[in-house]
């Protein structure tokens, strides 16, 4: 009797092990079945309504992953680019699918369009995926108001991870800083030769720029698109607020997905794309 129970116990353990291996292989097969080429389109926008009533935490950590890639302009490439087979190149506007949504946001005075681009890439499992650098909006010294990264991966479903922060700045004229925000990391692909501009789109910005001009003799242009050139030093501006958006979302391919947030909105569509044969 004891021998029979022992054999039965061993048989049950073997069956459980086989089931676990089968489940693991099935999960890996499901993931590999969905891996492949996709066309990705991403829109990020901000609500212009005053968010000062919200109390956003300042004990946040801002960082770029080490395994990043950047979206490249095919026109700036020194070699011939084939957009049907080369990954992470920005597609022309006529190949985007969400232009109507972006235009509605631009025409609506309550929103500010910060980023809109489409590209093609191979989407893999999370372990092999790459973080894609995202930035947009007005430039203040070495930073833009929207910075961070996203990551796309696939298992049973497509998954989007956002690591985006929306920063608001004031011109530094010696005013008292009432809240300590973390230091914003420099974009890994930052180029010091890029044009740094500050858009003076409010009376407060105008007053601060005038005060800075009086104190330091800085030349400030006031026109339809007024801007002030900077040396890229962090002391040129102080951080008024940083809003970090870190979310994970399962998605189905081909569908338009919307990530809601009190300040930032994210619209994304990921569509299977069969690249041309080599």
> What pLDDT digit, counting tens, does each position of 187-205 carry?
999 987 554 444 444 444 4
* Predicted model pTM: 0.75
> What pLDDT digit, counting tens, does each position of 165-187 carry?
999 999 999 888 878 999 999 99
The helix (H) or strand (E) run that includes residue 116 is: strand 111-123
Which residue carries 């030349």 as its tokens?
219
Rounded to the nearest 10 degrees, how much is the dihedral formed by the CA atoms of 54, 55, 61, 62?
30
b (16+ CB within 10 A) / e for 257-266: eebeeebbbb
pLDDT(120) > 70: yes
> What pLDDT digit, counting tens, does each position of 80-111 carry?
999 999 999 999 999 999 999 999 999 999 99
Which residue carries 């309504």 as its tokens?
49
Bridging pattern class, strands 237-251 and 256-259: unpaired
Determine the pLDDT at residue 239: 94
Of 170, 241, 167, 242, give the one whose Cα is nearest residue 205. 170
Asked if residues 36 and 122 have their Cβ atoms less than 8 Å apart, the reply is: yes
Confidence of residue 65 (pLDDT cuts 50, 70, 90): very high
Percentage of the chain beyond pLDDT 70 is 70
The helix (H) or strand (E) run that includes residue 60 is: none
């Amino acid at each position: 009797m004891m021998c029979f129970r022992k054999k039965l116990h061993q048989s049950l353990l073997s069956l459980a092990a086989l089931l676990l291996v089968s489940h693991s292989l099935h999960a890996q097969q499901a993931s590999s079945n969905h891996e492949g080429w996709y066309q990705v389109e991403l829109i990020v926008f901000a609500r212009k309504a005053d968010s000062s009533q919200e109390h956003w935490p300042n004990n946040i950590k801002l960082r770029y992953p080490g395994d990043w890639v950047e979206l490249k302009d095919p026109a700036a490439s020194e070699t011939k680019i084939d957009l049907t087979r080369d990954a992470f190149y920005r597609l022309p506007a006529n190949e985007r699918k969400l232009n109507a949504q972006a235009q509605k946001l631009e025409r609506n005075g309550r929103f500010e369009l910060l980023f809109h681009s489409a590209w093609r890439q191979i989407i893999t499992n999370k372990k092999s995926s790459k973080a894609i650098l995202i930035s947009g909006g007005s430039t203040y010294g070495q930073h833009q108001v929207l910075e961070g990264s996203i990551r796309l991966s696939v298992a049973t479903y497509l998954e989007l991870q956002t690591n985006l922060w929306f920063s608001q700045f004031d011109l530094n004229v010696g005013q008292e800083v009432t809240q300590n925000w973390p230091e914003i990391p420099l974009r890994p692909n930052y180029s010091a030769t890029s044009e740094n501009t500050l858009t003076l789109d409010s009376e407060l910005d105008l007053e601060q720029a005038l005060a800075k001009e009086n104190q330091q003799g800085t030349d400030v242009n006031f026109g339809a698109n007024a801007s002030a050139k900077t040396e890229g030093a962090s002391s040129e501006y102080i951080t008024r607020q940083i809003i970090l958006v870190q979310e994970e979302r399962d998605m189905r391919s081909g569908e338009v997905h919307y990530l809601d947030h009190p300040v930032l909105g994210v619209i994304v569509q990921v569509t299977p794309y069969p690249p041309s044969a080599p």
